A and B are shown apart, each in its own frame.
Chain A
Amino acid sequence: AQSVTQLDSHVSVSEGTPVLLRCNYSSSYSPSLFWYVQHPNKGLQLLLKYTSAATLVKGINGFEAEFKKSETSFHLTKPSAHMSDAAEYFCVVSFYSGTYKYIFGTGTRLKVLA
């Protein structure tokens, strides 16, 4: 079965310090993995995606993630947090079952302290 586990429900960092949001996946197949961000009372915006090309994926707003098959991980990082990064982040795995199905993790709320 395909699933994702986000290891931290809440993460707090100071502005200007690095961000690490952790995600582990379980997939019977070569997975496609995504990170989405949801700002308060907003929709879901794609940050980045991994679809079996380069294992280090760069996304928008300075975020990147590294696919590590041996660790079944797809952690999201950013070198320096900005106040505007405060939001809910979702790790997503997708797989084909008649059509593509997107399975969401439970989300990590990122708080950025001034």
Chain B
Amino acid sequence: DTAVSQTPKYLVTQMGNDKSIKCEQNLGHDTMYWYKQDSKKFLKIMFSYNNKELIINETVPNRFSPKSPDKAHLNLHINSLELGDSAVYFCASSQSDRGQNTEAFFGQGTRLTVV
């Protein structure tokens, strides 16, 4: 059973297109995240949702719009793709009971290549 699954695994698209990446978790967690991993392997948080509510919104261009239809899903939509958006995007989830920090579980990543 895959705990955090993202689709697609690979995405190649042209500049200017709009694309979405989907993420689902079956762990019953209340919090989900999107991270971006650049070419130097650095992982930076983009967004976090807790029970469908946006909690963390780092400095990300507004071409990126997360959507959480329910607490098991967090999708990432990207408008007007640019070359600099090429990266690996990771979805993650965790349970956020304050005082009981558990680890985050990560998906396998989506490698986005903008040409």
Contacts and interface: CB of A to CB of B under 8 A. Distances in A.
A68 interface: no
Interface residues of B, number: 28
B96 interface: yes
Interface string B2-35: 0000000000000000000000000000010101
B45 A102 contact: yes
A43 B2 CA distance: 12
B109 A96 contact: no
B1 interface: no
A51 B97 CA distance: 13
**A46, A90, A99: which has the most chain B beta carbons within 10 Å?**
A99
Majority secondary structure, A binding face: strand
Given A43-B108, A106-B42, A99 B92 contact: no
Contacts of A38: 41
Contacts of B31: 99-100
Contacts of A51: 100-102
Interface of A: 32, 34, 36, 38, 42-46, 49, 51, 88, 90, 94, 96-104, 106-107, 109
